[in-house]
Amino acid sequence: MQTRHSGFTLVEIAIVLVIIGLLLGGVLKGQEMITQGRIKNAIIDFSGITAAYYAYLDRYRALPGDDSQAATRWGTSILPGGEKGDGNGVITGLYNATGTPLAESQIFWMHLRAAGLVTGSAASPKQPINSAGGIIGVQTGDGSASPTEVLTTDSLAGTGISRLMICSSGLADRVAAAVDAQLDDGIPKTGSLRAQKTKSLDTIESAAYAQPYSDTGSTPFTICKTL
C-alpha cells in the first residue's frame, strides 16, 4: 500500500498569493481615494465658506452673524426669533457654540442661509458637518467681545490669530497636513492656517500644535484658517 500526501501545488499557491495581493491593493487604493476625497472636501469647505462670507459682506455691507439689520431684512418668517447681531464689527462666540442664547458665531450660519449663500434652513443655527463628521464653524480670536489671540507660535505673544477664522474639527492628521500644505505652508504653528489636536470640548487653544503633523491617519486635528 502506498500513502498519498495531498496538498497545494506551487501553481495553486501562486494563484492564491496573486489574489491576496490584488485584494490588498484594492483595499489600500480605496483608502487612498477616501483620504484624497476628504482632502478635496475640506479645501472646498474653506473656499466655499470664504466665498459666501465675502458675498454677504459685499451685498449687505455687514458681517453675517453681526448684521444688526438682518431681522428687519428677512422678518420672523425666515428668522423665527429675529436673530441679529450687534453690528460692532466683531463676530463673538466659539466656532462650536451650542445652546441658547445664540452666539453670533451661530447666527452667522442663519444669516448665510437666509441670504441663500449656503444650504440649509435659516431657522437652524447648527454648524455644518465636514466629511470626517467634525464641525465647521467661525471664531474671532478667542471668541470674546474684545478678542485676544489664539494658536500662537511656540506660545510667543503677538504670533497668534485674533481675527475671524474658519475652523474645521476632527480631520485625520494626513488630511489636515495636506490641506495645510495646499492652502498655506504645511506647518501647524505658522502661517494663515493653524492647527491643534481635536479634543472632547475642543476649545481653540492659546498655542498651536508645535510639532510637525503626524501621519498615522488616526490622530484628529482641528485646523483654523483666517478669513
Question: Mind listing the pLDDT tens digit of every residue in the chain (227 residues)?
Answer: 565 656 667 776 777 777 777 666 666 556 777 788 899 999 999 999 999 999 999 999 999 999 999 999 999 999 999 999 999 999 999 999 998 899 999 999 999 999 999 999 999 999 999 999 999 999 999 999 999 999 999 999 999 999 999 999 999 999 999 999 999 999 999 999 999 999 999 999 999 999 999 988 889 999 999 99
In a domain, 217, yes or no: yes
User: What residue numbers bound the domain in which 64 lies?
Assistant: 44-226
Is the alpha carbon torsion for 102, 165, 160, 170 positive or negative?
Answer: positive
Q: Give the per-residue pLDDT at 184.
A: 97
What gap in Å lies between CA 217 and CA 146, rounded to an integer? Answer: 37
Q: Give the per-residue pLDDT at 40.
A: 95
In a domain, 17, yes or no: no
Phi, then psi, of 8 in degrees rounded to 5: -90, 145
Q: Give the per-residue pLDDT at 10.
A: 72
Residues 6+ apart with CB under 8 A from 37: 131
Beta bridge partners of 137: 167
Three-state secondary structure readout of the chain: CCCCCCCCCHHHHHHHHHHHHHHHHHHHHHHHHHHHHHHHHHHHHHHHHHHHHHHHHHHHCCCCCCCCCHHHHHCCCCCCCCCCCCCCCCCCCCCCCCCCCCCHHHHHHHHHHHCCCCCCCCCCCCCCECCCCCEEEEEECCCCCCCCCECECCCCCCCCECCEEEEEEEEEHHHHHHHHHHHCCCCCCCCCEEEEECCCCCCCCCECCCCCCCCCCCCEEEEEEEC
Is the alpha carbon torsion for 178, 164, 112, 133 positive or negative?
Answer: positive
Number of domains the chain contains: 1
Residue 95 · residue 141 · CB < 8 Å: no
Phi, then psi, of 160 in degrees rounded to 5: -95, -165
pTM recorded for the entire structure: 0.86
Q: Give the per-residue pLDDT at 14.
A: 76
In a domain, 118, yes or no: yes
In a domain, 157, yes or no: yes
In a domain, 9, yes or no: no
In a domain, 145, yes or no: yes
Q: Give the per-residue pLDDT at 192.
A: 97
Q: In what order do the strands lie in the sheet with 136-140?
A: 136-140, 164-172, 220-226, 193-197
In a domain, 60, yes or no: yes
In a domain, 31, yes or no: no
Q: Give the per-residue pLDDT at 37.
A: 87
Q: Give the per-residue pLDDT at 35.
A: 83
Query: Distance of CA 17 to CAs 13, 29, 31, 73, 188, Å?
Result: 6, 18, 21, 67, 42
